[in-house]
Structure 1
Amino acid sequence: MRNTRALTMIAVALVMAMAAVVLAAQWIVGQSASNSNKVAVALLDISMGARITPELVHMVDWPSNSVPPGALLDLKSADGRITRANIQRGEPIMEGKLAPAGTTGGLSAVVAAGKRAMTVRVNDVVGVAGFALPGNFVDILVNTQSDFHGDSAPREQAISKIVLERILVLAIAQESNRDDTKPKVVNAVTLELTPEQVEKLDLARSVGTLSLVLRNQIDPASANTEGATKSSLLDDGRTPRQAPAPAPVAAAPVAPTPAPRPHPPREPQGDKIEVIKGLDRSSQQF
């Protein structure tokens, strides 16, 4: 009898424990579902300029309080979009890394709004030995002849001048992958420029030779140089520079010399007699 009651109590306790576990699990699932969102995440590595298909993306649960701004929350909004940057496997699909809806694939989807893509011919020296890779920033240097106006007639002299600064490299040859950091010597580099910079670069390559200068990725400072000429190249600071001629000083007005006064005419000298009277003396002229 006692054994039956003990077994009954044990069975009731197990049933209640199982019910508590089920209720707790449901509560936890409910809490996690209310505190999470579905986020579109890359299932594979997606290269820049590629079109996103459902096979490349899947939805995962993401805590609501840490969803990245701009993350896509459904597969429909990501289907058919073109990537403007490389997306790694497991990375959320961000709106900022996608071209506007309806954009066709290719390099044109990567060009920012208001910018243009222009290709310039380079070699192993002009292209910084292949270190100018997609995603890097470069300055553009032109070597040409400038009109020099000195004391004599105008003449031409060689000058090297930075004409464009902090220009983004979009592609080298036919490659636009920004994850590859291995130097590649190519014969063409595609740059992202504003319309004004496109005109300036086209003129620069027609009047002289171009060189790319690799710059620091996070340095926005401008060089503001005057350019290097032959005279500035050979001037080592030891040659004294001729001081500029002082400005002519206006001469003070000279006061006119007063005309000499005429001397009064002298009286003709005659006979002179001196008369002495006691202590008095006088003279008379005849």
Structure 2
Amino acid sequence: MRMVFALFLVLGIALAGVAVYMAQNQIARFQQERDYLLSAQQNAPLLTDIVVLKRPLKYGERFTMADLELVKVQANKMPPGAFTRVTAPQGSKEAQTAVFFDGETRPRAALRSYEPLEPVLRSKMTEPGVDAGITANLAPGMRAFTISVDVNSGVSGFLRPGNHVDVYWSGSLEGRPVSRLIQNNLKLIAIDQSADADRSEETKIARTVTAEVSPEDVAALTLAQSTGRLTLSLLGMGDTTNVGAIEIDRNTLFGIEETTEAVLEQKKVCTIRNRKGGEMIEVEIPCTN
């Protein structure tokens, strides 16, 4: 009986040791997992809300707050002009990053096409109650000016709303043909009657383009368009280089050196003839014409 008791005692102690060993291993594993999760949490990027669309939108299509939702993105990966709230009280600090004010019933309109879950950007939508069009693309204090173009002056069919162009004037100055850069880096807001930057007519030749200009530029371009021919030069995306003054005339283009009136006057010699006895003498005199 004592042998059986001793055997059970030894077996119990062994099982207890195994249980303690397994528990220690399990606790150590839990501690490792906890430390890993804490480290990952500390190193994880900060997340923030961003407003996205639930459904696709075409240019000019209206949308309301029911078409929007919030998703999480890295705070340092927010695109410029993105929103972090669907609605907020008018006049509050949060309203600066909200798409709509609380209680707003007027829809907004898309100024470009959107895909589902694409972030909504302030520059790609109209204000509430405003439909897409030229007026929605104009910055405060700016004006819309339309320029007539063709296949030669309008950069073929490559122009799109949102592009930037240089404007050259060609005409006659003081009786000589001249081409001059008169406007640099103008933003186009419409092609023909369309302000849609996603238009699909890839090869369509525009008849008119509408640019965003200042009131002073309106006067300058009106005069330029009525006295000569305007030609557009398309700028590369993101190109803000100031090229300075550019003017080319016929003589500069072909390398012709123009003779001045002073040089002609020096080369011109005027004389009179006088008879002295039986001899004819030529005497130089100042040229009168």
What is the DSSP-based 3-state SS (H/G/I as helix, E as strand, rest coil) of the residue aligned with 1:163?
strand
For structure 1, the residue ranges without an aligned partner over 5 or more in a row are 1-26, 149-155, 247-286
Aligned counterparts of 1:91 and 1:237: Cα–Cα separation in 2? 58
More deviation, 74-83/206-215: 74-83
Deviations 1:164-216 (A, max 9, x none): 11111111112422475934212111111111111111111111121112222
Q: Is the 8 A contact 1:51 1:82 kept in 2?
A: yes
- State how 1:131-170 maps to structure 2 within 5 Å: 131-146=158-173, 148=174, 156-170=175-189
Aligned identity (percent) is: 25
Q: Is the 8 A contact 1:145 1:157 kept in 2?
A: yes
Match of 2:206?
A: 186
More deviation, 164-173/56-65: 56-65
Aligned counterparts of 2:158 and 2:68: Cα–Cα separation in 1? 33
Aligned counterparts of 1:66 and 1:160: Cα–Cα separation in 2? 46
Q: Is the 8 A contact 2:111 2:126 kept in 1?
A: no
Match of 2:53?
A: 42
Q: 1:104 aligns with which of 105, 113, 130?
A: 130
Q: 1:62 aligns with which of 52, 56, 73?
A: 73
State TM-score, norm by structure 1: 0.60
Structure 1 position 123 matched with structure 2 position 134 = no
How far the C-alpha of 1:43 sits from its partner, in A, is 2.5
Aligned counterparts of 1:43 and 1:102: Cα–Cα separation in 2? 19
Q: Is the 8 A contact 1:133 1:183 kept in 2?
A: no
Cα pair distance change 1:90/1:241, threshold 3 Å: farther
Structure 1 position 224 matched with structure 2 position 224 = no
Q: Is the 8 A contact 1:122 1:189 kept in 2?
A: yes
Aligned counterparts of 2:195 and 2:76: Cα–Cα separation in 1? 38
Match of 1:3?
A: none
How far the C-alpha of 1:67 sits from its partner, in A, is 4.8
Q: Is the 8 A contact 2:111 2:196 kept in 1?
A: no
How far the C-alpha of 1:86 sits from its partner, in A, is 5.0
How far the C-alpha of 1:233 sits from its partner, in A, is 4.8
Cα pair distance change 1:181/1:235, threshold 3 Å: same
Match of 2:118?
A: 91
State TM-score, norm by structure 2: 0.59
Cα pair distance change 1:113/1:99, threshold 3 Å: farther
Cα pair distance change 1:83/1:134, threshold 3 Å: same
Cα pair distance change 1:67/1:176, threshold 3 Å: closer
Aligned counterparts of 1:202 and 1:241: Cα–Cα separation in 2? 34
Structure 1 position 195 matched with structure 2 position 215 = yes
Aligned counterparts of 1:239 and 1:37: Cα–Cα separation in 2? 68
Q: Is the 8 A contact 1:137 1:215 kept in 2?
A: yes
Match of 2:226?
A: 206
Aligned counterparts of 2:110 and 2:160: Cα–Cα separation in 1? 19
Aligned counterparts of 2:256 and 2:64: Cα–Cα separation in 1? 65
Q: In proportion to residue count, which structure has more helix?
A: 2
For structure 2, the residue ranges without an aligned partner over 5 or more in a row are 1-37, 88-97, 101-106, 267-289
Across the two proteins, how many residue pairs are aligned to each other?
A: 235
Cα pair distance change 1:219/1:241, threshold 3 Å: farther
Amino acid aligned to 1:59: L
Match of 2:83?
A: 72
Compute the RMSD of aligned alpha carbons. Answer: 4.5
What is the DSSP-based 3-state SS (H/G/I as helix, E as strand, rest coil) of the residue aligned with 1:130?
coil
Aligned counterparts of 1:51 and 1:172: Cα–Cα separation in 2? 21
Deviations 1:201-244 (A, max 9, x none): 1111111121112222314222411332xx42564368999996
How far the C-alpha of 1:109 sits from its partner, in A, is 1.2
Q: Is the 8 A contact 1:52 1:78 kept in 2?
A: no
Structure number with bigger Rg: 1
Cα pair distance change 1:74/1:68, threshold 3 Å: same
Cα pair distance change 1:181/1:221, threshold 3 Å: farther
Q: Is the 8 A contact 1:118 1:198 kept in 2?
A: yes
